[in-house]
Structure 1
């Protein structure tokens, strides 16, 4: 027994010792292990602890960083850059990105050196009267030949308070191709002409009717030149930024980004760095410190590139006549209208803003005290603290399963804890105060005394307008009250009524959808009557009882409004169920009944989805495209898997995870179905929304032309969703407003009539219907009576 024990102990001791020796040897080997270049970048290698250390390209990397890392790797391999470490174990992603900064600096110096060494002979600095006369003679020649002239302003920055320091021009006709930079605002000892002289000489040519100017982001240059007393908006012949959004709405819109991607097609490959990367994020410093030769090169290069890009874009559009038509009949003539709208701006009622701010501050403070008394000291901006309050202290049900504390979740939890309304109300009022009421007056342009929002006609993939500073689409109704009509004017809001449902009714040709519009009855009540098999009158809002007897959870008209939006915007069935407060099966039946009740609409939608599957894009009524990159491949995969699933089941799948199918097939189907259905929903919406957006743009063009004929006092102020805001002299007659309404209604002929609703205001958001305004005597009289 003793012997046996001894043997066991001795064996165990020797085994442990060998294991320790082996472990020590392994650690020594790992410590001394030197990874290869390929392991550092691609495959990874064992760390000193024995764990696998990923290669740089196996880690999470943004596309921008990936390009930079590739540059570093290539430069080191080419001997252009040192590794900067003694051991490759210290060569990390962070180190590689730091090396990129060195590489960028070295390249910056090389690029600038190359610019100056290879300055094209046709890049000229204009700093003499003789040089200016040459430019003016080329303007005359271009005008006589109907040739386009590229224009770009060089400025101290991109804000409203910035100014121009110079201007570049490119002329090209016949064998002539000349590029000029005209400096006049450099704060340096550079020889240059005066601003007044340059503007006096250029103004007649830039404003001459029929001059064809080509620019990239023409709105910016137009606003900048307006400060110098030159109005170019009616001579903007082509904007390469907006044109590119028509040719490919998914691309970046920057001139350098476009040139990098497409320059090889028009002989102008450009993979250089941006202005900020090359020089500085402070243009004013650049134009003060850099040589005039470098300023000339950079400025001339922009207009040279812009003109080349224009000619290539034009050739692409001519191959696609529908897109050519969209640009030249919708987008191009719209730009002057947008510029005029931005120049008009908004009058802010500062005294009201101060009073409203004080009022809101008191309300917010009162709510903070009430919340403190009810919930204790808590930072509402801390999701962690709010989650702890909801789920740990108040013991509320975790509806999301993720301890969420967002507004949507709080609204659901109110039925469990009514005092949560305090938090929701606080958030709304505090956002109104800090995001709108306090900042908006501070954004007023000191030169004009008005708030000028920026409108972007090409910001969205569906062609709808976007705005910023402020974003009018997101401006709460209560914040709109800060905007007022100046003395002697009124604000008119003319809104297209149900323009997207009307567009769907027209494009689908569905008689059932068209019926309410052709017979001037309520759309939603008509749809509800057909879907729920109720009398039309029972579906009007005036009847609040019949639907209850029929067992409906909500008023049928309200349900139908949500249902139609679900169809047009591609809302999922679970989301629809949540919006209507019904179960998912009930929501599915609702949608099935909707589709079966309007077969022509359903067939039209299926046709559009099939077109997207086959071509990867859909078209609006006017021919504008909405492209879905990679969708054709996804569609083929989806249809193949769907056929396989149906073949196995002998029917259409329902909840794929509950079907008797192999798990791997379920997973594959679920993944591809998710991507496929997303595009299927978006494709239909893109057609409806895009078609309606272009109709609004056409109306804006026609109305703006009408306002210009009326005189300087008639202005278009803004576009918000499907509405146009106008600033019009208070002496306007009802007939003159009806004339504008008719222009908007007649801008396009559909199978159903277009309708507009007009509101009259002194303060935005506190208006009265047009009919009431007329009945009470027009002008400001109806509002004075209210006051």
Structure 2
């Protein structure tokens, strides 16, 4: 069997590690940044363990400018400078590679690609199987019989067969296509208006770049002109994009061969960087104890070292064995399990189901764990001939334990499990810990708080993908068809990992008392409120939607005809490409962004042609019809005859709740059609009404609270219209009856301050010059200087701490706040201030929801909280109780958190959500 040689594009992997979305702001015990070095090292070790390469080398770019810059001085000239904290991490990565005895290759004036191209060709000639580890498309030109491109992240290999099947091109032809399309990141010109699809299509047809230019007269239209006008640019681009195979570097097989690491040196580096989780991965546990002992004996002057995560060294890593994963297939085994559970103070629980929609899902099984590497799976339904436990028997034996509030439960997205069990007649009480919510609180910027992502990040463990059991695509089956024996291992792993995540995250929260308080007193109680709202759902009047659908269809057709008549063209209006051709090529409208037809561009084009208004309205109607009007009825659960929306706690970085299936936030509130959609949300009982309770200008009131601005506080506490008040203060408007235009300006600047708008953004929203907008903002801050002082204090705090906090202690990291790049720093400053206000508004309405639900339960009111959207709570209650309920709800909401400013809640009720709002 040929030996395997893995060549890593070093800088590419370093950059992808640095900008990886999974983790942010990792640092060593001494404060040294470590994100790139940690992810790079973890990725490299994973590659070695999975692929067991015979030889391995890392290619790096030369520290001098590439020879390509001599050919074309603009080559890579526009690339931004390397992030300030990256050089230090590259140095650390090279130290780690040296300790692993993995060669780092650099050749003066050449790039890593050229080193890889040269070595891969030499290795291929000597019969080695060479895997180029890179996600860069340019590497595809290097593919040959024994040379493959390997994507480490996707664990996928591209070979000659892939290139032929997917691209219908040879490697050399792909190089020609690269020359045509150019590369904006590297400033390689290519041919204007020619993208990958066109470039590959031309090369497939003509065979090569040379043959294409021999037949360039056959290419018609604008692209044909570009092709003919850009022959020299295409020739230059091919020279720049071609990877050299004659770089002065030797194939030193013995030097590239993997050997034992320098474990002493590697242990020292890992200890300095806090990479203690990697000790077991590399087998350095003994070295860790030696270093700890040495550190203790070095005297009091030595700074104490800690792990990458707090107390991580005390946290036991995952074991490979699964011998303690057990299938509970008989009553006797279930009774034995229940006897053990009764003695536990807390256990992790997870459900397996037939659907990802909790209100439609059928219970397939329950898995439980309370000890690392030990878990039990109780199958309720299964494929094959294995024994299962009936739902009735599950209720009889396990029901009491699940209901017992004194035996605590932990789960991952446990709201889903509560609803699934509720649908099966089982009540899950005593839920005290949700790992998804805990992870979100600790780092709201994480791209994913899924169990798989957390297991990988926090436990250095790869979970079994569910596709291993149920398949993918058309052949996919539901979980109830999986044999119980196969399902048990997967389900037990879920419970086991959930319990481990509970232990780890609980430890981290305990080290941050404010966050733990927020978790226990706000987020976990809120989860239970949201669970009840999702179970309750809302009634939908489908006849209202059906009527709307007919009316909207007619309006869409009328608009379509009008657009065709005004443009003199029949085309697909929903196609951005076809629309841009009509607007910019036929009507010759100005290109504000390069041939873009997005909403912001159309807004600016509205004054240039009357068809733009029709296009905007057409788009809105098509979107609302497809997203809501035609879909809401189909989303109604046939069992409950109600729509069960999902409310999400862990999506937005500010702490705001979001909704999905459907996304209620996207129903426009200020348009006629948006209000009509709300008219379809109705009470389920004949004598019922929909009651709305909406905070009035809550973010501005929070701004007044935080800034302690005496004028704003007085205005709010006197129940004045704040926009009229500011208009009178800044623009001399009549306080009681201001001119609408002046009030609109004051409103724009009021909200613009919260969202961090500068003069340009404000000028665009008000249709005034930037200088006028700047004067307006300066005047605002001069009058309300305490607001400017507060904003600066938020920014200063973010610079010092690296994060901002909300009124109840929610934290959000602010990367870039100390950046030397002006744009990045400005964006971070806006985010810091906006998060403080919006996050505090989120805290407020969450606290209100919990207290309102507590009062509804305590007084046994005939009212149900069914929707939360923005600053509004929506209820279903009887008409007779509406006034009394509105008074109680508004009183609770106005006093949910004690503030310096008076909060105001507007209430209303009616036969549907539109009239209630």
What are the within-5 Å matches in structure 2 for residues 683-722 of structure 1?
A: 683-711=832-860, 713-722=862-871
Q: CA deviation at 1:606?
A: 0.4
Q: Would the aligned equivalents of 2:384 and 2:483 in 1 still touch at CA under 8 Å?
A: no
Q: 1:165 deviation in Å?
A: 1.2
Shift of residue 693 of structure 1? 0.5
Q: Report the equivalent of 1:494.
A: 693
Q: Helix, strand or coil: the match of 2:691?
A: strand
Provide, for residues 489-547 of structure 1, a one-character-per-residue CA deviation record: whole Å limited to 9, x for no partner.
10001001111111111112121221201222221122222223x15xx255x343xxx
- TM-score of the superposition, structure 2-length normalised? 0.65
Task: Please list, as runs of the form range in 1=range in 2, the aligned pairs for 1:424-439 lying within 5 A after superposition.
Answer: 424-439=616-631
CA displacement 1:258-280 (0-9 Å, x = unmatched): 122222xxxxx423443336763
Q: 1:161 aligns with which of 350, 360, 375?
A: 360
Structure 1 335/393 Cα, relative in aligned 2: closer, same or farther at 3 Å? same
Q: Note closer, same or farther for the CA distance 1:350–1:303 as it changes in structure 2 (3 Å cut).
A: same
Change (3 A) 1:274 1:61: farther
Equivalent in 560, 566, 575 of residue 382 of structure 1:
575
Where 2:913 maps in the other structure, the secondary structure is coil
Task: Give, in whole Å, the separation in 2 of the partners of 1:377 and 1:245.
Answer: 49
CA contact (8 A) 2:534 2:866 kept: yes
Describe the SS at the equivalent of 1:169.
strand
Aligned to 1:584: 770
Residue 913 of structure 2 is matched in structure 1 by 764
Query: In structure 1, how many angstroms separate the alpha carbons of the residues matched to 2:153 and 2:804?
Result: 44
How has the CA–CA distance of structure 1 residues 91 and 581 changed in structure 2, closer, same or farther, with 3 Å as cutoff? Answer: farther
Deviations 1:667-711 (A, max 9, x none): xxxxx0100010101101101111110110000001111222344
TM-superposed deviation, 1:582: 0.8
For the Cα contact (< 8 Å) 2:384–2:484, is it kept in 1? no
Query: Structure 1 residues 55 and 467, CA, compared in 2 at 3 Å: closer, same or farther?
Result: closer
1:372 aligns with 2:564: yes
CA separation of 1:59 and 1:241: change in aligned 2, threshold 3 A: closer
Assess, with a 3 A threshold, how the Cα gap between structure 1 residues 37 and 711 changes in structure 2: closer, same or farther.
same
- 8 Å Cα contact 1:68-1:100 kept in structure 2: no
Instruction: Go from structure 1 to structure 2 and tell me whether the alpha carbon gap of 1:718 and 1:56 turns closer, same or farther (over 3 Å shift).
Output: closer
Shift of 1:98: 12
Question: Is residue 295 from structure 1 mapped to residue 491 from structure 2 by the alignment?
Answer: no
C-alpha contact (below 8 Å) 1:492/1:727 kept by paired residues: yes
Distance 1:168 1:745 in 2: 43
Query: Residues of 1 paired with 2:435 and 2:156: CA distance?
Result: 32
My pick for the range that moved more, 362-371 or 93-102, is 93-102
How many angstroms apart in 2 are the aligned matches of 1:612 and 1:414?
40
Is it true that 1:506 corresponds to 2:709 in the alignment?
Answer: no
Distance 1:59 1:325 in 2: 36
Assess if the C-alpha contact under 8 Å between 1:344 and 1:717 holds in 2.
yes
Following TM superposition, by how much is the alpha carbon of 1:739 offset from its aligned partner in structure 2, in angstroms?
1.3
Q: Which residue of 2 aligns with 1:192?
A: 388
Q: Do the aligned partners of 2:455 and 2:463 also contact (CA within 8 Å) in 1?
A: no
Residue 124 of structure 1: aligned partner? 326
Say if 1:464 and 1:690, in contact at 8 Å, map to a contact too: yes
Question: Residues 386 and 334 of structure 1: is their aligned pair in 2 closer, same or farther, counting only changes over 3 Å?
Answer: same
SS in 1 for 2:155: helix
Measured after TM superposition, the shift of residue 56 of structure 1 is 9.6
Q: Does 1:100 align with 2:155?
A: yes
Tell me which residue corresponds to 1:270.
Answer: 461
How many angstroms does 1:451 deviate by?
A: 1.0
| SS of equivalent to 1:467 | strand
The CA distance in 2 between the partners of 1:300 and 1:723, in whole Å, is 41
Q: Tell me, yes or no, if the aligned pair for 1:481 and 1:763 is still in contact at 8 Å.
A: yes
| SS of residue in 2 equivalent to 1:731 | helix
- Looking at structure 1, the residues matched to 713 and 17 of structure 2 have their Cα atoms a distance apart, in angstroms, of 52
SS in 1 for 2:410: strand
* Cα distance in structure 2, aligned partners of 1:565 and 1:217: 35
- What's the CA shift for 1:458? 1.9
Q: Match of 2:636? A: 444
Structure with greater helix percent: 1
**3-state SS of 1:439 partner:** coil
Partner of 2:793 in structure 1?
607
1:313 equivalent in alignment to 2:505:
yes
Unmatched tracts of structure 2, length 5 or more: 22-38, 57-127, 133-141, 159-317, 669-673
Provide the rounded CA distance (Å) in 2 between the counterparts of 1:420 and 1:327. 49
Deviation at residue 736 of structure 1 after TM alignment: 3.2
Deviation readout 1:278-316 (Å, 9 max, x if unpaired): 763588556644561x43333222222222322222222
Counterpart-to-counterpart distance in 2, 1:136 and 1:118:
24
Aligned to 1:726: 875
Q: 1: distance between equivalents of 2:573 and 2:331?
A: 65
C-alpha distance 171-395 of structure 1, shift in aligned 2 (>3 A) = closer
What CA distance in whole angstroms lies between the structure 2 residues aligned with 1:505 and 1:380?
A: 46
Higher CA-based Rg = 1
Aligned to 1:107: none
Shift of 1:381: 1.9
Residue in structure 1 matching 2:814, options 628, 646, 657: 628
Answering whether residue 338 of structure 2 is matched by residue 152 of structure 1, we say: no
Residues 517, 59 of structure 1: alpha-carbon distance in 2 compared, 3 angstrom cutoff: closer
- Shift of the 60–90 alpha-carbon distance from structure 1 to 2, 3 Å rule, reads farther
Distance 1:441 1:241, change over 3 A: same
> How many angstroms apart in 2 are the aligned matches of 1:206 and 1:414?
60
Conservation of the 8 A alpha-carbon contact between 2:383 and 2:484:
no
Aligned counterpart, 2:886? 737
| Maintained 8 Å contact 2:348/2:368 | yes
- Structure 1 partner of 2:746: 560
Give the aligned partner of residue 133 of structure 1. Answer: 335
Contact 1:609 1:684 in 2 (8 A): yes
1:304-343 alignment to 2 at 5 Å? 304-343=496-535
- Bigger relative contact order (CA 8 A; separation at least 6): 1
Instruction: Note the C-alpha offset of 1:59.
Output: 11
Q: Which residue of 2 aligns with 1:777?
A: none
Give the unaligned 5+ runs of structure 1.
Answer: 1-35, 44-53, 104-114, 264-268, 545-553, 639-671, 769-787
Q: Distance in 1 between matches of 2:453 and 2:899?
A: 39
* 2:53 paired with 1:78: yes
Q: Report how far residue 414 of structure 1 moved.
A: 2.5
Cα deviation for residue 91 of structure 1 reads: 6.1
Q: SS state of the match for residue 352, structure 2?
A: strand
Q: Is the 8 A contact 1:69 1:96 kept in 2?
A: no
Which deviates more, 128-137 or 608-617?
Answer: 128-137
**C-alpha distance in 2 between matches for 1:141 and 1:416:** 75
Alignment of 1:52-71 (within 5 A): none
Greater mean deviation of Cα atoms: 428-437 or 713-722: 428-437
Deviation at 1:99, TM superposition (A): 10
2:543 alignment partner, one of 348, 351, 357: 351
Which residue of the other structure, out of 565, 574, 578, is the alignment partner of 2:760? 574
Task: Kindly indicate whether the alpha-carbon contact (under 8 Å) linking 2:518 and 2:810 is maintained by their aligned counterparts in 1.
Answer: yes
Aligned twin of 2:181: none
Name the SS of the counterpart of 1:555 in structure 2: helix
Q: 1:260 pairs with 440, 456, 469, which one?
A: 456
What is the rounded CA distance, in whole Å, between the counterparts of 2:593 and 2:600 in structure 1? 14
